[in-house]
Structure 1
Amino acid sequence: MAARRFGSLAALGVFAVAGLGLIAGCANEPTRVQPGATAADTLQRLGAPTGRYPLTGGGERLQYSRMPAGFEVTDIDVDASGKVVSVTQVLSEARFGYDIKVNQWRQNDVMAFYGRPYEITRVSSFDGAVWTWRYKAVNERRMLYIYIDPTGVVRRYHTGDDLDFDRIRD
């Protein structure tokens, strides 16, 4: 009887520790930062960002990327007074056509918006580099490809299935 009670208490302890881990994990989720929070509080809560980029008007973008293994890049824009003004998960098919500025963006604009890519490759049909990010669309693993010419200008983009994942799954 005592052994059975000890086993139940041990299991309860394991679940309690797991629950605390989940709560702690939620605390450092970038998309949970609220506009109006301070940059200092955000940095204390989330730790160092994967990228920091200046914004026009004196603000700064704090970027939290889960690349190369993850599927999310969260941009947290802070105004000149140090307050969070927006929190955006930028790897979204609904946003690509609106956000990506073909023939206008340069390589540094891509970095400031999406951060470091999952990979950089070349293809024979394009003179330049193809930057790739992984993302999810309705739980399907997808890829965003941005084509950057030798002068550093974005010339086109497209999305496609994550064929690496399909090979692993089959």
Structure 2
Amino acid sequence: MNPIHVMKYRRWLSTRHAPIAVTLLVAGCATPASIPPGASQNDVQARLGAPREVYHLPDGTTRWLYPTQPAGEYTWAADIDAHGQVVSIKQVLTTEEFGRAKIGQWTTQDVLAHFGRPVETAYFPLMRRHVWSYRFLQDGVWYSMMHFYFDPDGVLRLTQAGPDPEEDQN
């Protein structure tokens, strides 16, 4: 586990979230990316536990999500094919993955299935936009938030990255 994350989890552990933090630390030390394509969904579940979120994707695969939100910056996605075999396992809260979101095409359901439930939501009445926010570690260094802005029909209209207001970014 990255030393920056250990320090962050120690700080978080000392708060009222201690029981959750211990679980996340243990889960964070597991290496989901080392589960190879072709492994069974039972292998994934034995190693990572039951997924916290499950989504059925248009291509017939099922996405199992293992988020570390609300305090963590990682969400591991295990894509499982119709035969129960791993297609891929990857960390989806990254600049590269956020860049896959298509303005004017993706909807709230697309963002939900790709990144999971947001850590925060807001509504800006003057803009008439719902905003979903996700914590992530930008460039592997900066504690950041990615914001997705949706119009009243739930269509993605803007993405914006900025600093995580809960972190000291000296």
Q: Distance in 2 between matches of 1:119 and 1:27?
A: 25
Q: Distance in 1 between matches of 2:29 and 2:70?
A: 22
Equivalenced residue count is 145
Q: Distance in 1 between matches of 2:96 and 2:114?
A: 15
More helix by share: 1
Q: Find 1:38's aligned residue among 37, 40, 53.
A: 40
Using the size of structure 1 for normalisation, the TM-score is 0.76
Q: Distance in 2 between matches of 1:25 and 1:47?
A: 9
Give 1:8's aligned residue. Answer: none
Gaps of 5+ in 1: 1-23
Give 2:86's aligned residue. Answer: 84
Q: Distance in 1 between matches of 2:27 and 2:115?
A: 23
Give 1:121's aligned residue. Answer: 122
- Work out whether residues 57 and 80 of structure 1, in 8 Å CA contact, stay in contact via their aligned partners in 2: no
1:59 to 2:61 alignment: yes
> Once the 2 structures are TM-superposed, how far is the Cα of residue 25 of structure 1 from its aligned partner?
4.9
Using the size of structure 2 for normalisation, the TM-score is 0.76
Gaps of 5+ in 2: 1-25
Q: Distance in 2 between matches of 1:59 and 1:157?
A: 26
Q: Find 2:142's aligned residue among 130, 140, 143.
A: 140
Give 1:158's aligned residue. Answer: 160
- String of CA shifts for 1:64-86, please: whole Å, max 9, x gaps: 11111110111111111111011
Q: Distance in 2 between matches of 1:165 and 1:27?
A: 22
Counterpart AA for 1:135: F
Q: How does 1:14-53 map to 2 (within 5 A)?
A: 25=27, 28-53=30-55
> Once the 2 structures are TM-superposed, how far is the Cα of residue 31 of structure 1 from its aligned partner?
2.7
- The RMSD of aligned alpha carbons is 2.2
Counterpart AA for 1:64: Y
Identity of aligned residues (%): 37
Counterpart AA for 1:131: W
- String of CA shifts for 1:22-69, please: whole Å, max 9, x gaps: xx6577443332211101111122111111111234321111111111
Moved over 4 A (4+): 24-27
